[in-house]
Each structure stands twice: as structure tokens, then as C-alpha cells.
Amino acid sequence: MEKIKIDPNAFGYPMPVVLVGSVVDAKPNFLAAAWVSRVNYKPPLIAVALGKHYTNGGIRENKSFSINIPSVDQIKETDYCGIVSGKQKDKSGVFEVFYGELKHVPLINACPVVMECRLVREVELGFDTLFIGEIVNVYSEERFMTGGSPDIRKTRPFVLNMSDNTYWTLGTQAGKAWSDGK
């Protein structure tokens, strides 16, 4: 089959959807982010690429941020936080929050899995900045776990398809990692 070149911004691979949180102007603020990934094993690091957003000010000021993994039940609120800026509208009432070990890291009560992160590095990429954080603590609830780990059948995360800007749930298990290739 002949390959055709397509728009690099529509590469059509599903991406995780998270809410990045920080305290800005003494209030919790969250944005939606899809350009996020674990990037180091020990210490456990996570990186998120952000444009010039209101949330960034809080990340820089407090040298910390949260990564909250929403379930399909929070699609509307997540999308809202991805459309509206805290610069124009106060988003502090969108979610009920709690605080863990780090004083200025707002964590979302309703999200099945949330992480508090300490900022360890910022990398300027041109348009975006890569914020790299060390995961200090991860919180979940018994009802979202199986055998001591978050169970995606219970946490029900969703992914973003950027080729047509749609959200998708996950399907059925397709294999077993570090096993099927043996």
C-alpha cells in the first residue's frame, strides 16, 4: 500500500487525558492536558508539556503541581478546564479538592487516581515548556483497586484522539505486557 503524508498534528494516536493542578493567586486551578507521560523509573518522574497557561504560574511559584486522572464521569468538567482559562474565569469551584503532603498542590477528590508532584526541571521546547515532576505521593481509593493497584475497569479513564478531537473509553484487554512476547 502506498503511504501518504498526513498532518503531524493529527497523528491519530490516543493520548491520556489528565488534569494538571496548581495553586494560583491563592486558589486551586486546573487545566486539561494530554501531552503527559511517565519519564523515569527511579525517582518516579512524570512530564507534561504546557503552553503559556495560567496554571504555569502556580507550578513555578510553588515548585509543585498535581496530576489528576479523571474518569469518564468527569469528562464535562475536564473539557471545561481545557477550554476556559483561570485568567478569565475562577475555576476553583469546579472540583472539590484535598491536600496531601505538599502544601500547595490541589488534588481532585472525584478523580480515581491523583498524584502530587515536586517540580524538578523545566525544559523550554519552543512553543511549550516541559514540566518534569517527581511523583511524591499517589492517592486512590479501595473501590478503584484490585490486588493493591488501580484497576482501569474501575477507574474508567478516557483518552483523546487528536485527529478529530474526540474522547474515547478503553476497550477490552488485548494482551499481557512483558509476557505475550516470551
What does the binding site for ligand FMN look like in residue numbers (CB under 6 A)? 17, 29, 31-35, 49-51, 53-55, 79, 82-87, 160
Q: Give min distance, CB of 178 to ligand FMN, in A.
A: 28
Toward ligand FMN, which CB reaches closer, 19 or 102? 19
Q: Give min distance, CB of 29 to ligand FMN, in A.
A: 5
Q: Give min distance, CB of 181 to ligand FMN, in A.
A: 31
Cβ-closest position to ligand FMN: 82
Strand partners, 29: 22
Toward ligand FMN, which CB reaches closer, 49 or 138? 49
SS3 state of residue 10: helix
SS3 state of residue 6: coil
Q: Give min distance, CB of 73 to ligand FMN, in A.
A: 16
Toward ligand FMN, which CB reaches closer, 145 or 163? 163
Toward ligand FMN, which CB reaches closer, 145 or 170? 170
In the chain, beta strands by DSSP E: 15-16, 18-24, 27-33, 36-40, 45-50, 64-69, 97-99, 106-108, 113-124, 129-139, 145-146, 149-150, 158-161, 166-169
Q: For 24-75, give the DSSP string.
A: ETTEEEEEEE--EEEEETTTTEEEEEE-S-HHHHHHHHHTEEEEEE--GGGH
Toward ligand FMN, which CB reaches closer, 92 or 145? 92
Q: Give min distance, CB of 4 to ligand FMN, in A.
A: 27
